[in-house]
Amino acid sequence: MTHLLIIWRNICQKPLHSLLSIAVIASSIAMTIVVMLLSSSIQQGLIKANHLI
**Of 44, 42, 46, the residue nearest 34 (C-alpha):** 42
> Domain residues for 35?
3-52
CA angle 36, 38, 42 (to 5 degrees): 120
**Using one digit for the tens of pLDDT, what is the confidence trace for 22-35?**
999 999 999 999 99
Instruction: Tell me the CA distances in angstroms from 1 to 6, 8, 21, 25, 26, one per residue in order.
Output: 7, 11, 23, 26, 28
Residue 51: pLDDT band (50, 70, 90) is confident
What's the domain count of the chain?
1
* pLDDT tens-digit map of 1-12: 699 999 899 999
